[in-house]
């Protein structure tokens, strides 16, 4: 493949290349001459084991590198997680136990290979080297960086100005992440735009340790389904790649309209041309945004569950929300009693979190039995035949007697 073509693929969706495109081109050429693959580093934090669409932007980029013949160094920050990861919030995150880290890490491994090519992936844990590091080595590492440099980091600058707490550990954190690069000797490191500073530290440290400096690729952060904050499990605005097809489809259908095209660009392999055409059609009102969204939802489900599951999810969604019919599969539950109080059913089956909520749902007209709205909580379901209970628009349950 032509090197320019390779660069074109690499550049797609990338926000920034540091120090610049030229360096990247040079590194590619160099690797070709030496007939070696490039090593691409990506660090993951084992605190949130469920991979969601936000992660897939970077993972897909890694996969592209693999398909171009390069090697991915996937590093799990098990050591740093053990001492607590302070990144992000204004609050220091609790350190994780060794056990939960191990569990999270293995979940990670299962999930990343839905996207990455196992044969072209090296897996590393940073406890491999940090576990053995002496205080002397640590201090040496710390000596390479200055307080002023660390304060350059946008987030620190902000918090420093607002006089919020910054722990010493947080200060060192970027160094730890950077030291991973020193140990791995990677050519490129990729991460979200929020990681820019940390990635740059890696570059600096590699130089300080006399290694070749990594080239940095930053990728956009994905806005979550709420349309406001970045996608994150802790904000509950995420779509996980291991979720059920209908869940993924439905959640995608619930994103604000403005997110339709950004999602298409970042999360699917739909061609730019096709995306632009759709954009235009929606703008000219030739296409209903809902249909563009349905197309997107289908693409996403297809990617993680295959084409037939995607079609099924789409039909199912229309059935429930457009035609207001019953879904084709409804969980069912047996009761041995002759009759059961509606409130008890709602609570027992997890359709309401307590009796107060069950009462509220009924008074709001959210509960239907066999298509009829239940108006009073003073109601028993007779277990003479099978009944279909519907709560809200999307929760269904079949109940029957023995």
Q: Which residues are annotated as a binding site for ATP?
A: 233
| Region near RNA per CB under 7 A, out of 21-29, 47-55, 58-66, 370-378 | 370-378
> How many CA atoms lie within 13 Å of 302's alpha carbon, on the beta-carbon side?
13
Binding-site member from 262, 360, 382, 384 for RNA (CB under 7 A): 360
Quick one: 254 or 315, whose CB is closer to RNA?
254
Quick one: 185 or 377, whose CB is closer to RNA?
377
Is the bond preceding residue 19 a cis peptide, omega within 30 degrees?
yes
| Region near RNA per CB under 7 A, out of 12-20, 103-111, 174-182, 348-356 | 348-356
Binding-site member from 97, 308, 328, 354 for RNA (CB under 7 A): 354
Quick one: 205 or 278, whose CB is closer to RNA?
278
Quick one: 211 or 319, whose CB is closer to RNA?
319
> How many CA atoms lie within 13 Å of 210's alpha carbon, on the beta-carbon side?
0
Shortest Å distance, C-beta 268 to RNA = 17
Site string for RNA, 189-228 (x = CB under 7 A): -------------------------------------xxx
Told to check if 343 binds RNA by CB under 7 A, we report yes
Shortest Å distance, C-beta 342 to RNA = 7
Binding-site member from 24, 366, 374, 399 for RNA (CB under 7 A): 366
Q: Both tokens of residue 400?
A: 């029957």
Binding-site member from 185, 209, 379, 388 for RNA (CB under 7 A): 379
| Region near RNA per CB under 7 A, out of 50-58, 171-179, 266-274, 335-343 | 335-343
The footprint of RNA on residues 286-305 (CB under 7 A) is 288-290, 293
Told to check if 355 binds RNA by CB under 7 A, we report yes
Q: Both tokens of residue 62?
A: 């890694």
CB 168 within 8 A of CB 147: no
C-alpha–C-alpha distance, residues 185 and 167, integer Å: 29
The footprint of RNA on residues 151-190 (CB under 7 A) is 163-165
Q: Determine phi and psi for 221, rounding to 5 degrees.
A: -85, 145
Considering only CA atoms, which of 69, 67, 93 is closest in space to residue 80? 93
CB 271 within 8 A of CB 283: no
Q: Determine phi and psi for 217, rounding to 5 degrees.
A: -120, 120
For residue 244, the 8-state DSSP code is -
The footprint of RNA on residues 229-248 (CB under 7 A) is 236-237, 246-247
Site string for RNA, 247-266 (x = CB under 7 A): x-xxx-xxxxx---------
CB 191 within 8 A of CB 199: yes
Number of residues that bind RNA (CB under 7 A): 50
Told to check if 281 binds RNA by CB under 7 A, we report no
Considering only CA atoms, which of 65, 62, 57, 8 is closest in space to residue 265? 57
- Residue 40 burial (C-beta neighbours within 10 Å; 0-12, 13-18, 19+): buried
Shortest Å distance, C-beta 401 to RNA = 15
C-alpha–C-alpha distance, residues 92 and 148, integer Å: 22
The footprint of RNA on residues 73-132 (CB under 7 A) is none
Binding-site member from 155, 377, 388, 398 for RNA (CB under 7 A): 377
Pairing label, strands 395-401, 387-391: antiparallel
Told to check if 376 binds RNA by CB under 7 A, we report yes
Told to check if 378 binds RNA by CB under 7 A, we report yes
> How many CA atoms lie within 13 Å of 289's alpha carbon, on the beta-carbon side?
11
Q: How far is CA 47 from the centre of its chain?
A: 12
C-alpha–C-alpha distance, residues 195 and 316, integer Å: 39
Binding stretches for RNA (CB under 7 A): 163-165, 226-228, 236-237, 246-247, 249-251, 253-257, 288-290, 293, 317, 321-322, 341-343, 353-361, 364-366, 376-380, 391-395
């Amino acid at each position: 493949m032509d090197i320019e073509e390779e660069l074109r693929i690499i550049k797609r969706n990338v926000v920034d290349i540091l120090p610049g495109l030229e360096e990247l081109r040079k590194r590619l050429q160099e690797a070709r001459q030496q007939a070696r693959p490039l090593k691409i580093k990506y660090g993951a934090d084992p605190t949130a084991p469920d991979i969601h669409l936000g992660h897939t932007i970077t993972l897909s980029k890694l996969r592209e590198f693999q398909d171009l013949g390069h090697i991915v160094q996937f590093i799990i920050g098990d050591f740093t997680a053990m001492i607590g990861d302070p990144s992000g919030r204004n609050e220091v995150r609790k350190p994780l136990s060794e056990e939960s880290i191990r569990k999270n890490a293995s979940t990670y491994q299962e999930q990343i290979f839905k996207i990455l090519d196992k044969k072209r992936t090296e897996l590393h844990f940073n406890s491999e080297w940090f576990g053995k590091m002496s205080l002397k080595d640590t201090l040496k590492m710390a000596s390479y960086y200055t307080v002023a440099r660390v304060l350059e980091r946008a987030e620190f600058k902000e918090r420093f100005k607002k006089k919020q707490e910054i722990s010493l550990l947080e200060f060192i954190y970027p160094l730890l992440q950077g030291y991973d690069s020193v140990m791995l000797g990677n050519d490129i490191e990729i991460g979200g735009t929020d990681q820019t500073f940390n990635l740059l530290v890696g570059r600096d440290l590699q130089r300080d340790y006399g290694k070749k400096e990594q080239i940095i690729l930053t990728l956009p952060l994905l806005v979550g389904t709420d349309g406001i904050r970045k996608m994150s499990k802790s904000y509950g605005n995420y779509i996980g790649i291991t979720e059920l097809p209908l869940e993924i489809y439905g959640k995608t259908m619930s994103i604000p309209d403005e997110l339709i095209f950004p999602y298409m660009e970042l999360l699917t392999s739909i061609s730019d041309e096709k995306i632009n055409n759709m954009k235009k059609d929606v703008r000219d009102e030739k296409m209903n945004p809902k249909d563009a969204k349905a197309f997107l939802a289908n693409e996403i489900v297809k990617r993680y569950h295959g084409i037939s599951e995607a079609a099924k999810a789409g039909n199912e969604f229309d059935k429930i929300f457009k035609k207001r019919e019953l879904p084709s599969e409804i969980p069912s539950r047996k009761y041995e009693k002759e009759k059961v109080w509606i409130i008890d059913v709602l609570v027992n089956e997890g359709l309401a979190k307590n009796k107060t909520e069950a009462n509220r749902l009924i008074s709001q007209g959210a509960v239907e039995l066999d298509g009829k709205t239940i108006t009073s909580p003073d109601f028993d379901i007779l277990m003479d035949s099978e009944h279909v209970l519907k709560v809200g628009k999307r929760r269904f349950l079949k109940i029957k007697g023995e």
